[in-house]
Chains A and B, each alone.
Chain A
Amino acid sequence: MGDRPLKTIKNILNGLTIPDLITVCKNYGLHGYSNQVKDDIIALIVENVKNPHVKESIKAIIPANGTTALILKFISDHDNELSYLRLKEYLLQYRTLSTFRGNFNKMIENRVLFEIKGDNDSTVLIPKEFTDLVTRIIDANVEPEEIKAISSLKGSSRDFGLPLTPTCNGCSYVDKSWIQKKIQESPGMRDYPGCNLYKTYNGYDWVCNHFTIESVSKEPLVEKRKEKQVNLEDFTIAAVASGVVASQKSLDMDANESLINEIQDTATLNILRHTLDKLQIPYLVKDISSWNNAKSFLRDLSMDQLETVYKSVFLIPSFSAFGTLANLTEALETQGFDFKKKDIRTWTLASEYLEAYSCDDLARLYKEMMIVAVLKYAEKFGDLGTLEAIFSEEFKNPMILPSIQDARIQLANLSLDELTLARNEMEDRWLDHMLEAEPIEEESEEESKEESQVTEGSSTEDVIEPISDISEDSQGLARTSNIKEQIDEIINLTLSHKALIKNIQHESTCVMHLIWAIQQAYPDYINEVQIPGSDDIADIVLPSIDLAIEAKFISKLKLGGVSNAKARQIEKLGRGACLSYLSKYKYALLIIFSDSTDYIRSVAHLDVHQDRNIFVRGIDWNKLVD
């Protein structure tokens, strides 16, 4: 590259007329350019193009294809400034005239490239500020063969960039996308049933899925397969390569269909995609573009893979959705599972722990956990009358249960679905029982809305009935005498930031916000806070205060399109979780966030349990955030 300085956008814009400048503003999505003097319009453009977010908008108007990238590469290799005729001459060695003109004119129109007309030729310019942007486009779209070819061009003293490296781990997302696209577009992509994304491209063997692309090696494909039989077992590649896939496992097609249907009933396509990514099961985008495709893709998986998906999508989430960590612990102990308490300290850890077990083991464990839950509620009632009523009313099977042991035997005879129903019924009836004992202080939607107005600050008055006669030991008293107010504070601070909650799209944002809210309420207790998203929020709070707090994030992927009844069920689960926490902690706060656009039913629950005093507050964020 020569030593001459690159032309800045300001240099270039100075030579344009006001209508041209206005076109630039329009193309870049800028505001407030009309009726401005030339210098102000230029300043507006100059200040905006420094902003990376504006640059992203500009990148979006550049056609993302190989021809565009080649054009940009030629120009950038000549200090961002090149004669049009030379550019055309270069390009015509690789592209047709119409392809070149089409893409070139598009970039001129969009003011990504600027052209200064001369007598017989013109100069094409890329502003200095676009250098990084252009580099990214080139890296993502210029094909390696072309780079090599360009490098060998006569008269070129330029190093035209790095060859494609055999591993893609260090590549940017766009690079990966490009390779992925190329691999998927290549013929013979589906040569290997059950292993759709194994392909030789550009002399390398690649395994890719939506987010991960790796070059397996430079070795020939067949050799590679032989070498990697063990390591690539997860992808069933070894089996495919050795031609034994058909005899690998005698699949029970009915069982497969049942699992597939269960997966379809439980998950959305997005959840399925995330699960496949997580499990590193290779797939093509088109494989899960519809449920029809997804089902046939799932049918192509091995039984092991299918069970893994089923576990991840359905079984393991069921534990946290319908159980508590305490009940899980008891179930693990009863069923003789080998575990340490730290394995299931949080649901995140517990889920990882459970992944190691087979579907059968998990089903057995889940059933035991449901039994434990039902029996715990029965213990709370003090008799088995409610359970007998459920057998009679829900299962049309009236019976007398003389003891807990008898109840356990009868429960063990129920199916998983029936047990879940029994557990939910017990929870509902327990809630009703408790709420009859102490009236719920539940806000009306209007009150919630009114209270949450930002303009009204964070007044906490009249939100929850005061807790009377809290008896604490002397050490705990100082901490908890005003704990209700502090919890109130969390709720109100959360409310005052409803705009943040409205479109929470990611768990880390949710956790960050909660940490922030808790800090406001517990400045003295929280001395060490983890980076948002890196740990379970309960780990932050529990050591220092006698409060169970859990943030649940329910994405729209899960809630989208669900009925109001389903939403209410989630709310009930929240209440149930609070109640279960109250068996261990004096205070429980559960906040469920949701970002569903078609139905938002996020609730914040505050249950303060003092003997039989329970105060529950449900908040419909959807009403609040309008």
Chain B
Amino acid sequence: MQRVADIETPRSSSIPSDRAFADILRPLIDPGFRLALAMLRDRGAAEDAVQEASFTAWRKLATMRDRGRVRPWFLGIVANKCRNARRGKWFASVSLGVPEDVAIVSNEDESLRRSDLRAAVARLPHDDQLVIVLFFYLDLPLEEVASVVGLSVAATRGRLYRSVNKLRPGVDIEEAIR
């Protein structure tokens, strides 16, 4: 799977045609889906979030000033869709997607630790989850994480510190975010 940080986004200032929009959108689906799956832990809900984000992106792309920032812009839309999905009353009570208890073939302790870590991330507030997933799972640089969450780099760094501290109290922050 291509890593998010390796993906180059097209740069263009013109209003895109269907084909051009598809070319812009295609490399964003993978990081968008991974972000949504990590935030929602439900394949169907993650697909819906990416689909709805894509509709929104299409409608608002023409108003976007800096086409070179399309990736954080799109991931920000996905994050908002995830926030809305988590507020939905049906999502709150229903999960049909990825099971939390993944089949364990061997190395049970490791699998349980991974499951515990996912559960610990899921217990964080939305904004804390978001910076953790963007920075540690999607490997976005701090500047791009800041762009997605709409904060300054300094404020984003502070939020990341606090989020890591909630996730792993007492951990060496500088070591953790290296």
A binds B: no
